[in-house]
Amino acid sequence: MYTPAVSLLVFMFFTFPEVQIQHSTLRISDSPLVARAAYVTTTLSVSICGNAIVDGVEVCDDGLFNDGGYGSTTATKRCNANCSAYGPFCGDAVLQPLYDEACDDGNATNGDLCSNMCVEETATGTPPATTGLPDGGSGGAGGAFTGLIPIRAQTRVTILGKAYPGSMVNILKDGQVAGVAQSNSIGDFTFDTTNVLPGPATFGFWSTDAKGLRSITFTTTFQVTQNAVTTVSNVYLPPTIDLKSKKVKFNDILDVFGTSAPDARVFLFVDKETDPVLVATTSSSGGWVGAFPVDKLSNEAFHAVKGFFELALPGIQTKSGYSQSVNFYVGTRDVAEPGSADLNNDGRVNLVDFSILLFHWGTDHAVADLNVDGKVNLTDFSILLFNWTG
């Protein structure tokens, strides 16, 4: 049976005046004691297409002029609506007959038989006589040319992330189902929606792997910009994780398995240890397996294992957040498996679960009796703190 330090928890339970949740760490203020849940940081990138600032994954951003229209010179080239590339322009080394280009040598230089307006030149560098404007415009005021009048773009959110190869990623917006995206063979997925209002929005993501194991629900809150494309990248679902057996003898080996991004490394941690007990490598299909001895863990006691993945991409080292914790027992006694500290099954252990536990305090309600001893008390509170994610 799980045995907490009761005297310590009594002090914590009755003396802290304020609870603050910062990232994934529980902090108890105005107390000489601090309880912390181990966490790992994964960095999201948010870029706004339409604010005239090139950031994140954007290639270009011309503000309201992101229409992808034709540019008659390199100086007038226009970004497309996704800020992912420029539209056609004179100087892109692609002949555009639709826009009356007679040549395109991929530069903005005159005197090389193709002018910076994509008009053929004579040997002296003088463009031959033409009957129309090089960009297809009609006669009229000098220097005038046809084009597109910029209009305000739709308010849109684009999500770029990584899950498990060939998996269906469920997308939640403010707690409601927003859609489903399918990942490709390397786990990458993309999701676009215009069904969003300007202002703060909370998106959640979860998936199941080929073995039927479900991930945690990864959530993030960000500001949606009106009349622009808000792109959120680096949405990495943590590995799925399960155990071959959730009860092992003191001298046995614990077998663990799951799925993550292909060709990544999965780091596993037991209880609150900061050093990994095992590092496994995923296959090209994302599957991983591993085993580690439990003889250095407390005997006749419950423990928990969790992990995150690390993947080397071109120029960067990416890292997911932690997976859910899976409980196991080391010993031979006949014990019931402890309940999940995630009382509302949202993939996180936080103040919502704390409130549920308090509601059932002193009762024998199974939903909050985490150590299955017939009573909701400080022991269950200790287990909840141990699994705290924030």
- What share of the chain has pLDDT > 70, as a percent? 79
Q: Is residue 294 part of a domain?
A: no
Question: What's the confidence (pLDDT) of residue 126?
Answer: 55
- Can you give the pLDDT at residue 385? 87
State whether residue 178 is helix, strand or coil. Answer: strand
User: Where residue 386 sits, what CATH number does that domain have?
Assistant: 1.10.1330.10
Considering only 123-132, 254-263, 278-287, 297-306, which range has the smallest mean pLDDT?
Answer: 123-132
- What residues contact residue 129 under an 8 Å CB cut-off, 6+ apart? none
Q: Does residue 76 fall inside a structural domain?
A: yes
Classify 293 as helix, strand or coil: strand
Is residue 328, in this structure, part of any structural domain at all? no
Contacts 24+ apart (CB under 8 A), 106-112: 108/73, 108/74, 108/75
CATH number of residue 198's parent domain: 2.60.40.10
Q: Are residues 367 and 387 in the same domain?
A: yes
Our separate counts of H helices and E strands in the chain read 3, 19
- CA-CA-CA-CA torsion sign (55, 58, 60, 61): negative
The model's pLDDT over 250-281, given as tens digits with 9 standing for 90+, comes to 989 999 999 999 999 999 999 989 999 999 99
91 in a structural domain = yes
Statement to judge: residues 28 and 89 lie in one domain = no
Residues 6+ apart with CB under 8 A from 26: 19, 35, 36, 37, 385, 388, 390
Write out pLDDT tens, residues 137-177. 443 333 333 444 445 568 899 999 999 999 999 999 988 99
In terms of Cα–Cα distance, which of 262, 288, 263 is closest to 187?
262
In single-letter form, the type of residue at position 287 comes to: G
Same domain assignment for residues 19 and 70: no
> Which of 134, 150, 166 is the last residue in one of the domains?
150
Q: Output 69 or 12, whichever has higher pLDDT.
A: 69
Do residue 62 and residue 107 come from a single domain? yes
35 pLDDT above the threshold of 60: no
Q: Supply the pLDDT for residue 307.
A: 96
Task: Answer yes or no: are the C-beta atoms of 54 and 231 closer than 8 Å.
Answer: no
Residue 382: φ, ψ to 5°: -65, -40
* Torsion angle of C-alpha atoms 269, 270, 274, 278, degrees rounded to 10: -40
User: Do 249 and 295 meet the contact criterion of CB atoms below 8 Å apart?
Assistant: no
pLDDT of residue 42: 55
Q: Is 100 domain-assigned? A: yes
- Catalogue the E-assigned strands of 139-276: 156-162, 168-173, 176-182, 188-193, 199-207, 218-224, 229-236, 242-243, 247-248, 253-259, 265-270
pLDDT, position 152: 56
Do 138 and 163 fall into the same domain? no
Q: pTM score, two decimals?
A: 0.58
In a domain, 159, yes or no: yes
| pLDDT one-digit tens code per residue, 186-224 | 999 999 999 999 899 999 999 999 999 999 998 888 889
Regarding whether 156 and 146 lie in a shared domain, the answer is: no
58 versus 125: the higher-pLDDT residue is 58
For residues 76 and 112, membership in a common domain is answered with yes
Domain identity same for 125 and 70: yes
- Is 90 exceeded by the pLDDT of residue 318? no
Number of separate domains in the chain:
3
Residue where a domain stops, chosen among 188, 205, 236: 236
Structural domain contains residue 386: yes
Mean pLDDT of the chain: 79
Find the helix or strand (DSSP H, E) in which 279 lies.
strand 278-281
CB 224 within 8 A of CB 214: no
C-alpha distances out from residue 227 to 81, 156, 260, 352, Å:
11, 8, 35, 35
Whether 346 and 390 map to the same domain: the answer is yes
Is residue 186 in a domain?
A: yes
Are 15 and 74 members of one domain?
A: no
Quickly state the pLDDT bin for 89 (edges 50, 70, 90): confident
> Are 24 and 61 contained in the same domain?
no
Q: For position 44, what pLDDT does the model report? A: 63
In this structure, the answer to whether residues 142 and 173 fall within a common structural domain is no
Domain encompassing residue 376: 1-36+338-390
Domain endpoint, select from 187, 221, 236 = 236
